[in-house]
């Protein structure tokens, strides 16, 4: 992975943590996630005149990714019913790079050498350490763990779908903007069907946060989509999850959350994994 791509993905991770910090806006998880995706869709819609239509080969992947995002939001919301952010987020985000690594090897023939794999496994171990003392110091339980792992599976699914789609399109920016536009429309329809039109009234007072979070989400994932056209998908997927590090920093600096020793250790392990991946 070239240094430019490496630094771009780290920047995307910081943006990812930033828009996740906006989730605490007084709505339930499903409504908040939907608001962010509708906001991203509106921002992308405004930028569509600047890019070309995707190639015909890219549209099935855009459609598949939009469908997989529905499953991602569903299982993420269910996971938060059984566990807290400190457990669900690390398990879901930390498990997806392993799934991506395996599936990309089988489907895309994107192999990793021994040092790259060691770095990836070290980074994932650090992310999982974040979950050990979550949930009020309780170990992960069955229902929460199952939903978090299903969330990870859907993350891996749309990550691979978008990697293939962007590569087949030959233009990552065009693919990303149309993807976010379609995804915003799909999530708006899902919200209307599942919660009724009155749900949009709940979103109204939070439109500024939705647009800001949507813009950050779109920028972060657009960088990731571009990076997946330049480097192995598994490496990009793993580096993206360093957003956990930035989330911890934001929690300590802005939300005045305590920094427990286990989290310091987890951050050190994640940083070690990043170093090994870069050296590889």
Tens-digit pLDDT profile for residues 5-40: 989 999 988 887 777 666 555 567 788 888 889 999
- Segment 198-218, tens digit of pLDDT: 888 888 788 887 888 889 889
What distance in Å separates the CA atoms of residue 241 and residue 233, rounded to the nearest whole number? 13
Q: The pTM is what?
A: 0.87
Q: Between residues 84 and 96, which one has the greater pLDDT?
A: 96
pLDDT tens string 221-276: 999 999 999 988 988 988 888 887 887 777 677 767 677 788 788 888 988 988 89
- Mean pLDDT, the chain, integer: 85
Instruction: Answer for the pair 273, 124: CB distance below 8 angstroms, yes or no.
Output: yes
Q: What angle do CA 29, 34, 36 make, to 5 degrees?
A: 95
Other Cβ atoms less than 10 A from the Cβ of 139: the count is: 11
Task: Name the residue with higher pLDDT: 99 or 243.
Answer: 99
For residues 137-148, give the mean pLDDT.
72
| pLDDT at residue 185 in the model | 95
Confidence of residue 85 (pLDDT cuts 50, 70, 90): low
Residue 139 has pLDDT above 60, yes or no: no
Distance CA 35, CA 61 (A): 23
């Amino acid at each position: 992975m070239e240094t430019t791509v490496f630094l771009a993905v780290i920047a995307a991770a910081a943006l990812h943590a930033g828009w996740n910090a906006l989730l605490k806006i007084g709505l339930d998880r499903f409504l908040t996630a939907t608001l962010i995706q509708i906001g991203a869709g509106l921002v992308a819609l405004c930028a569509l005149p600047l890019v070309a239509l995707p190639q015909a080969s890219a549209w099935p992947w855009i459609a598949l990714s939009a469908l997989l995002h529905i499953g991602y939001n569903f299982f993420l919301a269910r996971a938060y019913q059984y566990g807290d952010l400190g457990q669900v987020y690390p398990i879901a985000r930390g498990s997806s790079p392993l799934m991506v690594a395996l599936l990309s090897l089988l489907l895309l023939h994107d192999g990793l050498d021994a040092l790259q794999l060691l770095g990836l496994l070290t980074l994932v171990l650090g992310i999982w350490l974040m979950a050990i003392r979550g949930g009020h110091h309780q170990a992960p339980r069955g229902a929460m763990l199952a939903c978090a792992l299903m969330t990870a599976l859907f993350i891996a699914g749309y990550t691979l779908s978008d990697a293939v789609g962007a590569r087949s399109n030959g233009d990552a920016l065009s693919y990303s903007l149309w993807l976010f536009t379609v995804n915003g429309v799909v999530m708006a329809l899902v919200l209307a069907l599942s919660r009724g039109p009155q749900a949009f009234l709940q979103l109204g007072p939070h439109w500024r946060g939705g647009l800001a979070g949507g813009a950050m989400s779109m920028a972060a994932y657009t960088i990731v989509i571009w990076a997946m056209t330049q480097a192995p998908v598994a490496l990009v997927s793993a580096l993206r999850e360093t957003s956990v590090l930035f989330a911890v920093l934001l929690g300590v600096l802005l939300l005045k959350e305590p920094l427990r020793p286990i989290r310091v250790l987890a951050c050190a392990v994640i940083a070690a994994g990043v170093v090994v991946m870069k050296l590889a």
